[in-house]
Chains A and B, each alone.
Chain A
């Protein structure tokens, strides 16, 4: 946790409400995202219990598994979930733009034009917390290898074809959610936690109700009071007023309400399924229709219980969304959303090409590629947030990694070592920032007209000021291009860190995995790698790769 975040949290304790950590919204929000509140059954990892989902605040759709141990009901639930989600997920695949790019074949040196489709928009799923993200990932893992009637050997329990398809989409969304700054699948607690600092611990911030209580406390209560109420207040039946946002449910709900309701449902089903002669009360033997109606009624009881604990969370999700939408979007959001669109498009293409589902485990090369991509994106998102938001930049300034201030002097100077003399003006900045750098260190100008490097010349002479020498970005003439050198009175900012992420080094293809890593994995095919790694690499135009991942990366800098 940075010093500034610590201060903001202390400040929140004192003020009684959450303090802003950002002046802009740092994550893309779709106009009409798909909100999903999944619940898991206690006792079995990844067993779905219910989900409330939809894109319309007033009309959420509830799906439940009335008996979580019943595999048939579970698969029926997953099929229903696929019916709800797949049309949304697939709806973005049609509208595309076509991007073309000149490319040189690395062997023949021939110029070729590559064109590629990029979907204009992509889906966005919002869940309450990271547990929700994990649960969707688990559902993806448990369904993407399911056999269907279309398989040559469908097995005794074939699933509807859309179930494994749902699994592959959920797996892809979960994978993409691991990429820093991505926005296809987001957890509301992460979103809110990025933009506000509460007076409670990071762990407590995982409780969506408590987090919202700090950010927007009800009238008359401090954040701490409201959060305590959200976490602990119970009604006369001992049930939490603010049910947990899943995926696990409150144990008192499980034992006090849900378990008895499931027992009643089981009993009704047993009765309905039994031989009429075996039914306990021969006098009042009910007709099959009545018994089936009773099963339906018990099922609706369970639905009612689950809806009652899901609707408050549903409202919290929309509440959080309302709060986030009050923040203006950060400048780099479209840029990063393009990355998500590439990711979506790549998955669409893999499905269309009939590729097999994502493997259970990554091979060595795929794992390394994914790690490289995530590290690059982590750096990128950190830099972009700093450029988009003075509060984010303030963290770097406080950490001695950046300096900002007003220009108090510009002294023309020239580098005369070469054939022609080049402008190397000295810029003095009045600032109280103390960059952790020695004279000679390289700086980067943030928010300048173009990318510009500078060298630290002196710090604190005179005190409260820093002098830097601009090194490039001033055009080719003897005198700096107009506007390329800041003027006296102008606000400037320099960072010690580079403002673009470094290229990742090329990795071998999976079939070329070296002996140090166990050689090629069994079944390694010389096919396109099944990752997004490489997307947005070395493509100034925002043109992704995926085709020829390697070449796109290798075009980049020589280190």
Chain B
């Protein structure tokens, strides 16, 4: 997907001695230069988890507006748009931001609290704004307006090629920013018919763009500010072997401490292990289960409950803060699993959702979000088979890269054996770039690492 040649931004494989801040700044400068003055109509930025993608978008928007341009921004979901509007309006009060929304989807109040944000469901109302932000789904319906000279496409790897096809008439040049390691866009119908075509409508917008514009060499952001030093090397090696990155903080810069001692249960042991090492695997006895495995769901809920009960606190470069429910996320593969976890958490008296509660969502929904501690139900836990859905590299990558301090995985034993029984059997298709690493390999790499931070739960809890 991304070429092996390093982008113009940063020298590769720089030792930990180099200043990560300076390295990241050089990359950003090169990107902004290419966006405003580059010879290609498109600029692509590959960003690993937490590498300052949103900051880059804000910077690029300010730069372009300062140069006298108006621009449109395309994001993929309403919450991403609201989030982006909030960030833009906060960081750049000089911008006038238009929030273009659907007639049946009111924007989040957090996006509208700023005086420089104007919401409307009609693009024509927002033409005077220096920046107009909306979802790809909404932009596709906009007509009768002159094209913008510049666009920024956020989370571009999650945008489908056909959505870009419908939007591209709206802009002349565009900066595409995204994380190639996250979930690929999906469809509910078969698309074998178009496999191998450069414009396969179900592939990612960036894949199509690069195939048709071979002059575009993707830039890279080299430093993850989110992932701690305990996580960046694993995530980089397991999911980004050809585009390595490093953590912006060193070992010991991030500390998760628990005020109250553990009670010796497996739940508390895994919390202790995770606080110490940044990773924890709570292993339940091997068993084939329904998707909403009640024991695993209870285990997830108990981990969250104990994290709160034991009064965790997080120390980082931002200072020390208590580990509150809103700083914890639970990630699952399926929506019914998320629903079951929400019910279990509510049963244990843990606040769920909203501004103050624990976030419980699927990998798809957690993309682009950041928490102090994440608790993850392993996608393959309790399964009798390993399907392409559950093996998808991006799913595991999203779930394992949302945290600033620690990630605790809950899983039934036997996943390594399950993987070995289900080697990848997806057909190879002419013209389709082989994704590397594949989900099988990435799952094994992560599992091997997790097994060093394991707490085993007895049957039944």
Contacts and interface: CB of A to CB of B under 8 A. Distances in A.
Interface string A499-525: 000000111100011111111000000
A512 B343 CA distance: 50
A180 interface: yes
A368 interface: yes
A558 interface: yes
B335 interface: yes
Given A178-B190, A375-B187, A518-B199, A506 B140 contact: yes
A399 B291 CA distance: 10
Given A400-B336, A515-B213, A517-B168, A372 B162 contact: yes
A365 B165 CA distance: 8
A371 B137 contact: no
Contact of B188 (A367, A378, A505): A378
11 contacts: A3-B290, A178-B190, A367-B197, A368-B161, A372-B162, A374-B189, A506-B140, A512-B169, A517-B161, A517-B165, A518-B212
Nearest to B208: A517
Nearest to A174: B193
A438 interface: yes
A364 interface: yes
A361 interface: yes
A379 interface: yes
Nearest to B352: A438
Contact of B141 (A364, A368, A375, A559): A559
A516 B213 CA distance: 7
Given A368-B201, A374-B189, A516 B42 contact: yes
Counting chain B residues whose Cβ lies within 8 A of the other chain, the interface size class is: 35 or more
Contacts of A315: none
B165 A400 contact: no
Nearest to B176: A516
B436 interface: no
A71 interface: no
A371 B189 contact: yes
B194 interface: yes
Given A506-B140, A516-B42, A519-B212, 18 more contacts: A362-B197, A365-B165, A367-B200, A368-B162, A371-B162, A371-B189, A371-B201, A371-B202, A375-B187, A505-B137, A505-B163, A508-B165, A508-B169, A516-B164, A516-B209, A517-B164, A517-B168, A558-B103
B198 interface: yes
A363 B198 CA distance: 10
Interface in B201-225: 201-202, 205, 208-209, 211-213
Contacts of A518: 198-199, 211-212
Interface in B316-365: 335-336, 339, 343, 353
Given A507-B162, A507-B166, A558 B141 contact: yes
A375 B188 contact: yes
B336 A399 contact: yes
A368 B291 CA distance: 33
Nearest to B188: A378
Contacts of A375: 187-189
B140 A505 contact: yes
B191 A371 contact: yes
A451 B200 CA distance: 36
A365 to B, nearest CB: 7
Interface in B152-191: 161-166, 168-169, 174, 187-191
A178 B199 CA distance: 19
Interface string A1-29: 00100000000000000000000000000
A515 B211 CA distance: 11
Contacts of A519: 212
A516 B205 contact: yes
Counting chain A residues whose Cβ lies within 8 A of the other chain, the interface size class is: 35 or more
A364 B199 CA distance: 6
A436 B336 contact: yes
A297 to B, nearest CB: 44
A513 B138 CA distance: 19
A-B interface, 8 closest residue pairs, ranked by CB to CB distance from nearest: A505-B140, A436-B339, A514-B168, A368-B162, A364-B199, A518-B212, A368-B201, A374-B189
A505 B166 contact: yes
Contacts of B212: 515-519
Given A3-B290, A558-B141, A559-B137, A506 B189 contact: no
Nearest to A372: B162
B102 interface: yes
Nearest to B104: A559
A180 B188 CA distance: 10
Interface string A545-558: 00000000010001
| Of A378, A508, A518, A554, most B-chain CB atoms within 10 Å | A518
A559 B137 CA distance: 8
B2 interface: no
Nearest to A365: B165
Contacts of B291: 3
Nearest to A519: B212
Nearest to B192: A178
Contacts of A399: 336
A434 B212 CA distance: 48
B345 to A, nearest CB: 13
Interface string A355-382: 0000001111101101110110011000
A436 B140 CA distance: 30
Contacts of B193: 178, 362, 367, 370
Contacts of B116: none
Given A367-B200, A379-B188, A516 B165 contact: yes
Contacts of B339: 400, 436
B88 to A, nearest CB: 22
B140 A517 contact: no
A233 B174 CA distance: 64
Contact of B189 (A180, A361, A512): A180
A538 B98 CA distance: 29
A372 B202 CA distance: 10
Nearest to A377: B189
Interface in A154-183: 178, 180
Contacts of B102: 558-559
A114 to B, nearest CB: 21
B138 A559 contact: yes
Nearest to B354: A438
B295 to A, nearest CB: 17
A263 B42 CA distance: 62
Nearest to B210: A516
A372 B193 CA distance: 14
Given A378-B189, A379-B188, A505-B141, A514 B201 contact: no
Contacts of B424: none
Nearest to B194: A367
A434 B343 CA distance: 10
Nearest to A513: B165
B313 interface: no
A367 B140 CA distance: 17
